[in-house]
Amino acid sequence: MEIGVPDGKGVMRIHIDRIPVGGLHLVETRSPEWLTNFPEFTHRDRESSVGPIQLDITLERLGSQVHVWGSINMSVSAQCSRCLDPVFANVSAPVEVYLVPERGGDFDEEDEGYETYSGDELDLAEHLRGQVALHYPVRFLCLPDCRGLCPACGANLNIESCSCAAKKFDSRWEKLKSLKF
């Protein structure tokens, strides 16, 4: 069953009338370039990279609606947001969305988990990329309690200590020392 033809833009066109009664289960691997909404993965001078993207998605027709659920998994290589050490993490984005026709769909536009499609086919890729964007971490940490870098000397405080913080005090905060709690 042809569900779509990759065209370099990451399209996953699915003809709604070809979704069988018992549902359609898709297990696919996509390249990092498939995440077109993440420009940092498409540039060669990137600070982070992502490995192959594993899609495990099920589609089920419910009248004119299509229920899509499953997960998207990938491994990411990035920098720690505090100390800049390399971080390797697994990112998993759960997928749970109902696709309803643009016209005649019985849902409130404010409802979470509902998106629209038009015509007799849908491009599932845009909906899936949106789910990755919702669940992608804002920052990566090498350790939950990473101490980061000293702002004065740049020492990695996870590895070594420095006396910069003890020496330097901003006098504008002097009045706060006299407050009693």
Ordered by start, the domain boundaries in the chain are 13-146, 147-181
Q: Quote the pTM value.
A: 0.73
CA distance 100 to 174: 60
Amino acid, single-letter form, for residue 136: Y
What 3-state class would DSSP assign to 62? Answer: strand
| Per-position pLDDT tens, the chain of length 181 | 344 444 444 568 888 888 998 999 999 999 888 887 776 555 544 456 788 899 999 999 988 889 999 999 999 888 999 999 999 999 999 999 998 887 765 555 556 677 777 888 888 888 888 888 888 888 999 999 999 999 888 899 999 988 885 566 677 878 887 887 7
Closest by CA to 73, choosing from 154, 135, 12, is 135
Q: Is 92 in contact with 134 (CB distance < 8 Å)?
A: no
The pLDDT score that the predictor gives to residue 110 is 58
Phi, psi of 173, rounded to the nearest 5 degrees: -100, 5
- Distance (Å) of CA 105 to CA 16, 101, 102, 113: 15, 5, 6, 14
Angle at 174 between CA 169 and CA 179, to 5 degrees: 130
The pLDDT score that the predictor gives to residue 11 is 63
The pLDDT score that the predictor gives to residue 14 is 87
CA distance 81 to 178: 34
The pLDDT score that the predictor gives to residue 40 is 59
